[in-house]
Structure 1
Amino acid sequence: MALEARTLTLHGQEIRLREYLPSTRDTTGEPLVLLHGISGSGQTWIPLLEHFERTGFGRHVLVPDLPGHGDSGSPRADYGLGAMASVVRDILALTGNHHATIAGHSLGGGIAMQFAYQFPEMCARLVLVGSAGLGPQVTAVLRATALPGAKATLAAAVNPVTVAIARGIAAAGRGLGGKLAPETRELTRHLSSLSDAGRRRAFLFIARSLIDLRGQRASAVDKLYLAEQVPTLMIWGAHDPLIPVEHGRKTAELLPGSRLTVFENAKHFPHVADPARFGAELERFLDETEPARLTLEEVVEILVRASEAANEVENRAKAVKKVPEKLSPGPHLRRA
């Protein structure tokens, strides 16, 4: 596979970047950026990249390990959505790209939407895969990170010793003919990454900044109107236990021009469960849509129109309240 890996130095910190380079000499269209989810890494996209190589996918693909994840550095830093979106912008700049389709899984979907909000002129399309940030519901495991003592509990549950024990049990199971499903292996890989103290710190920072005991606090729903001109594809697993597919369905209603594809036999990792179908859906979407070319001036115009419309609705509501109610004749009123 034409897959290269290198390390970028970004603001003094190391960022691991995988790049898929088409086998054909000429690439087509703007590059595709693939963003992983919380506690994951760019490795989650390897099955899709292998599919691209088999089918001759003609686009340049950038697959970073986000800060605090994979082989990138884990500094004591800001891991919020805005900071992560800025990292994606800087990676594009360092690789000589100014316009890209941004695809994100889970947390990566939230970062993709934040990127489109912060840097609309750089966002050609959005692909949201089991995306965070589209509704409050989320698994109780992630809500529990808001509890006191979560840091110590996580360190006791996931550390080099417990991970080694789990791997030994898994190896014994394979020796007896057992086999984990692709999505289960991927989830296990995500969890195992938390045995590293730096990855664990980043995980807790991100989870607590976005989620409390009631669910996801961060939401892009009120800003979706800004993405109406950006072609958007959503892909969800019908049996996603972490972020329910209903979030995708509701978002599709709010974005009439968007596309939603539900994988009936997938959970939270549809790109791992069926990379061939995922790749086909993605390629079809790229082929059938024109990339957005928004300017900052156009975004400002959209914001102004939305603000004026909201003010008009508010003023009408106030005017209705000021109209005095007419008293109807009753027993307490006597005619002169």
Structure 2
Amino acid sequence: MSTPTSPAGAPKPRRLPRRPASSLTEKWTRIDGVDVFFRESPNPPADARVMTHVHGFGLSGRYLLPTAERLAGEFHTFVPDLPGFGRSGKRRDMLDIPDLAHAAADFLDDRGVEKSTLVGNSMGCPVIIEFAHHYPERIDRAVLVSPAGGLFNQPLRRAIAQLSKDAPREPTRMARVAVPDYVRFGVPSTMRMFRALTQYPSLQRLLEMRIPTLVVLGQRDPLLPHAHRVDEVASQTDSHVLVVLLEGAAHAINFSHPGQLAHVITLFMDDKPIENDPSWPGHVRLYEVHRGKHHPPPRPTE
């Protein structure tokens, strides 16, 4: 077989295969006329529980991959870009929390999934809470990492100041993931989505939930109230909420502390006590802040 040549007659350099962006399989589907991009466990166990990761404000699911990949061996994992975000197509009516919750349900329908645990970060948490409000029979458990929105992030200038404080607290490599996503999302979409996010009644909906719910907060997250305030609010009702504080983490915990987050999610999914992994660096610790009265009691570790 002859060697391919360039127009000048010189042999063409071989193209190296593109390094996969993730160990998860990248796929496309079409839902209601919109192309939707997602990642999925390549070979999930036949009896694996389904776990779907929901991204935050203006971002794609790419920054969730460090945590999702660590859980993909045990759970049938999906990481979609919701319509209007990342590589997925846009729709005019996809910049509201209820619309995004319905879009998440449509995605699970498309994949033939009846019930899933949902793991969200930032804006993904209100989306999950709204999903649970409309489809309580379709959500197994909820994992809310650095939930955003509501009065604490209003007005816009306050949210911008909070984001400015958070940026230097995140790994520098996060910018290579986030900046292209924000540019693609655009300013008009940002303004509209911000209004929808801050007006959403996250706290009221959270306290109405009746499924096991894990809330993970970063000790250095400027976008959230202090953990003691969260405990105070969570204690107002007999809830299923378990609140855990991760020392040293800021807002994008799924990206910055994937090992620790995957560890606590696995413990939560198996109803085991929240314990630190002895192999972690000395400055990384998990602290249980609140355990709802009706949350499943922890089973002894084996």
Tell me the TM-score normalised to structure 1 length. 0.65
Change (3 A) 1:243 1:128: same
Partner of 2:249: 266
Alpha-carbon distance in structure 2 between the residues aligned to 1:250 and 1:52:
31
1:48-197 counterparts in 2 under 5 A? Answer: 48-52=67-71, 57-133=73-149, 135-138=150-153, 143=158, 183-187=171-175, 189-196=177-184
After alignment, is 5-14 or 183-192 more displaced? 183-192
Letter in 1 for 2:145: V
- CA shift for structure 1 position 7: 1.2
Runs (4+) of structure 1 moved beyond 4 Å?
Answer: 139-145
1:250, distance to aligned residue in structure 2 (A): 4.0
CA–CA distance in 1 between the matches of 2:55 and 2:101?
13
Question: In the aligned structure 1, how far is the partner of 2:224 from the partner of 2:148?
Answer: 7
Aligned amino acid, residue 271 of structure 1: N
Report if the CA contact (8 A) 1:27-1:58 is conserved: no
Q: Deviations over 1:185-235 (max 9, x none)?
A: 325632442323x5433222211223xxxxx322232233431x3000000
Q: Which amino acid aligns with 1:6?
A: K
CA contact (8 A) 1:138 1:244 kept: no
Query: How far apart are the structure 2 equivalents of 1:68 and 1:101?
Result: 23
User: Judging changes above 3 Å, is the alpha-carbon distance between structure 1 residues 223 and 183 closer, same or farther for their aligned structure 2 residues?
Assistant: same
How many residue pairs match? The answer is 242
> Equivalent residue for 1:217?
199
Secondary structure, aligned partner of 1:137: helix
Structure 2 residue aligned with 1:306: none
Letter in 2 for 1:5: E
- 2:66 pairs with one of 33, 47, 56: 47
Q: State the match for 2:191 in structure 1.
A: 204
Give unpaired runs (5+ residues) of structure 1. Answer: 146-179, 211-215, 290-336
Identity between Structure 1 and Structure 2 (%) = 26
- With over 3 angstroms needed to count, the CA separation of the structure-2 counterparts of 1:182 and 1:143, relative to structure 1, is closer
Q: Distance in 2 between matches of 1:194 and 1:33?
A: 22
1:132 alignment partner AA: A
1:297-324 per-residue CA deviation (whole Å, 9 max, x = no partner) reads xxxxxxxxxxxxxxxxxxxxxxxxxxxx
1:251: how far off?
4.5
- Say which SS state the counterpart of residue 46 (structure 1) adopts: helix
Q: Could you tell me which residue of structure 2 aligns to residue 332 of structure 1?
A: none
Structure 2 residue 46 is the aligned partner of structure 1 residue 26? yes
* Structure 1 SS opposite 2:114: coil
| 1:10 positional shift | 1.1
Distance 1:26 1:144 in 2: 43
Shift of 1:92: 0.5
Report if aligned partners of 2:207, 2:239 keep a CA contact under 8 Å in 1.
no
Aligned residue type for 1:201? P
Q: TM-score, normalised by structure 2?
A: 0.72
* Alignment root-mean-square deviation, CA: 2.5
C-alpha distance in 1, partners of 2:43/2:263?
Answer: 16
**Counterpart position of 2:8:** none
Match of 2:34 in 1: 13
User: In 2, are the aligned partners of 1:74 and 1:199 still within 8 Å (CA)?
Assistant: no
2:26 and 2:265 map into 1 onto residues whose CA distance is: 23
Letter aligned with residue 272 of structure 1? F
In structure 2, the partner of 1:324 is none
The one-letter amino acid of 1:244's match is: P
Alpha-carbon distance in structure 1 between the residues aligned to 2:183 and 2:85: 12
Query: Which residue number corresponds to residue 252 of structure 1?
Result: 234
Asked whether the equivalents of residues 113 and 220 of structure 1 are also in contact (C-alpha less than 8 Å), the reply is: yes
Unaligned runs of 5+ in 2: 1-21, 161-167, 273-302
